[in-house]
Structure 1
Amino acid sequence: MGERPTTLIDGRTFVEAPRWHENRIWFSELYTHKVMSAREDGTDLRVEATVPQQPSGIAWLPDGRLLVVSMRDRRLMRREYDGTLVVHADLSEHATGFCNEVIVDDQGRAYVGNFGFDLVKGGPMTPASIHRVDPDGTITEVADDIWFPNGCVLTDDGVFIVNETFGNRISAFDLTEDGWLVNRRVWAEFGQLPAATTLAEATPELVLSPDGMCRDAEGALWIADLTSQKILRMREGGEVVDEIDPGMMPFSAALGGSDGHTMFICAAPDFDEEDRRATTLAAVLQVRVDVPAA
């Protein structure tokens, strides 16, 4: 177990989706509706986009334009070169819950996950799908039966890995040249699929609840685990080889910094949604790790 993280950017409400991009750390602040970025040392904090329906996952097209998930209206937004936001894709007829994570491949196709059910109101748990958004806006379902698809990574050799937060597992697919997710398999399994139909009832059955994640140069994943409230370094198959205790609930992590050895962690107190809106105790944390970003 390495050193304890230190605070890089404090005074936030609820932060998610950290990304290291163009020598800056980017993240979404859900309840102020902002996508923000800062220098590696936390200075020069600036607003990159405002998404009234709550930003979540962020990614970039090959031409450099920013994509942002707009959670509550289930849209994928695109920031144009002049800074304006336009709808890249409307997934409201496809996603069965709030949209959350997005990742983009080298052909500019975006892969978007969603909750699958009404998490806020505690609705019955149902699995969700991942949808591919082509550069022309066409939306195609490319994977289903995923229990709350969350953090995901795409390896250089075309393996798409996705956390199933309420499924006790991490799944992997092969990404084909024409944008399909095939050859599904379990990357790591922590327990059985919960038998309960509501999250409150299923929570005791969750051995590990993987939220956001990032991948290092050795192919290991750093997983933000909501059950242990730690960041776990994991090898394929589920072996945990290191852990970081951020001191409060971690929701996602990204590797970056000028040498690739800094982990940026989005963390917040474990409050319910209404308390998260009011608190300013959330933060972006930082900690040094031995193995750099992939």
Structure 2
Amino acid sequence: MTTLVSFVRGASRVLFLFALGLGVGLVQSSAAQSSPVPEEAIVEKIADGFQFTEGPIWYQGTLLFSDIPANTVYQWTPGDSSRVFLKPSGHANGLAVSPEGRLLLAQHDGQVGQLGPESMVQPLAQSYQGKRLNSPNDLTVADDGTIYFTDPPYGVEDENRELDFSGVYRLNPDGSLSLLTKEFSRPNGIVLSPDESTLYVNDTDGNVIRAYNVTENGGVANGRVFATMQGDAPGNADGMKVDARGNLYTTGPGGIWVYAPSGDRLDRIPVPKAPTNVAFGGPERKTLYITAQSSVYRIPVTVPGQE
């Protein structure tokens, strides 16, 4: 069932209210005139009752999202309820779509996979230099089919861990796997800028967003801190997406933080529960979907999403 919750948003001051069970969210803006979130935007709960939602993606006119502990990918259709799309899912977390329209999964069970015929998941990457990947967490795809993904140890027991670092990888169209960096403690969300010149990666430890220049051969250079999110409210640097203008939407303390490509913060969208990931969807990709613990929310935006 869909629950509508309205809020009032002022240009110079913020009224922030959570209604128990409903979740009234006020968008807090530091640059309202340039924010891609409408002044009177409504945070709307569209699904509830899950264990831990993650990895939303707009796929063939519907929203897919993961429930990691339930080992399930669910499908939500506008005007309808959620249903099981894939079970077992390999404890899938992040989801993406290849240039050919195939569903890609970052699976905590230790691989990056691709959904094939009869709902069978075909492995694309399972190991690096002969050692098992930790637990692929999130992924983003370039126009040529190159997959970039993060590999923290959230989904693997210490005794089963074979890699002693948490890497960020590039999976090339020919199937070869390259390590881009292992400087992260807990690499998490990952996304390319619209022109694919910049790769953003969230590090959950410290709530830091890092940015890299993408080189001609698909590698990365000039690693730098893009932004650091601070706050005591629940939520961490987790999932992220970009819109067509290159604005970055990322989970963080208290909700969704929105940054311009320059690194200036444009907005913060409070969410009733600690958010885990985001995705753009709808006919024009002008709806931002938010997974948050046991629930899924949405809010309209004025700039279409890139993915």
Task: Tell me, yes or no, whether TM beats 0.5.
Answer: yes
Check 1:18–1:232 CA distance in 2 against 1; reply closer, same or farther (3 A cut).
Answer: same
Q: 1:10 aligned to 37, 48, 54, which one?
A: 48
Match of 1:272 in 2: none
Match of 2:248 in 1: 221
Superposed displacement of residue 132, structure 1: 1.7
Superposed displacement of residue 266, structure 1: 0.2
Q: 1:255 aligned to 263, 280, 284, which one?
A: 280
Q: Is the 8 A contact 2:235 2:254 kept in 1?
A: no
Check 1:120–1:82 CA distance in 2 against 1; reply closer, same or farther (3 A cut).
Answer: closer
Cα distance in 1 for partners of 2:280, 2:155 equals: 31
Superposed displacement of residue 8, structure 1: 1.0
Cα distance in 2 for partners of 1:238, 1:155 equals: 13
Superposed displacement of residue 101, structure 1: 0.7
- The letter for the 1-side match of 2:169 is H
Q: Is the 8 A contact 1:69 1:102 kept in 2?
A: yes
Cα distance in 2 for partners of 1:143, 1:95 equals: 17
1:13-67 Cα distance to aligned partner (Å, 9 max, x none) = 211011123322111111221122222x252634332245411111222222222
Q: 1:164 aligned to 189, 203, 206, which one?
A: 203
Q: Which moved more, 1:107-116 or 1:230-239?
A: 230-239
Cα distance in 2 for partners of 1:61, 1:291 equals: 22
Superposed displacement of residue 285, structure 1: 0.7
Check 1:80–1:208 CA distance in 2 against 1; reply closer, same or farther (3 A cut).
Answer: closer
> SS in structure 2 opposite 1:146?
coil
> Map of 1:83-102 to 2, 5 A cutoff?
83-91=119-127, 93-94=130-131, 97-102=134-139
- The letter for the 1-side match of 2:301 is V
Match of 1:45 in 2: 82
Matched, 1:24 2:49: no
Check 1:167–1:97 CA distance in 2 against 1; reply closer, same or farther (3 A cut).
Answer: farther
> Map of 1:69-88 to 2, 5 A cutoff?
69-71=106-108, 73-88=109-124
Q: Is the 8 A contact 1:168 1:207 kept in 2?
A: no
Gaps of 5+ in 2: 1-26, 28-38
> Map of 1:230-249 to 2, 5 A cutoff?
230-236=255-261, 238-249=263-274
Matched, 1:138 2:184: no
Number of corresponding residues: 262
Superposed displacement of residue 94, structure 1: 4.9
Q: Is the 8 A contact 1:234 1:241 kept in 2?
A: yes
Q: 1:33 aligned to 68, 71, 84, which one?
A: 71
> SS in structure 2 opposite 1:249?
coil
Superposed displacement of residue 116, structure 1: 4.9
- Scaled by the length of structure 1, the TM-score of the pair is 0.77
Gaps of 5+ in 1: 192-202, 269-281
Q: Greater strand percent: which structure?
A: 1
Check 1:120–1:265 CA distance in 2 against 1; reply closer, same or farther (3 A cut).
Answer: farther
Match of 1:288 in 2: 300
Q: Is the 8 A contact 2:254 2:274 kept in 1?
A: yes
Check 1:249–1:58 CA distance in 2 against 1; reply closer, same or farther (3 A cut).
Answer: same
Cα distance in 2 for partners of 1:164, 1:32 equals: 25
Task: Give the aligned CA root-mean-square deviation in angstroms.
Answer: 3.0
Match of 1:188 in 2: 227
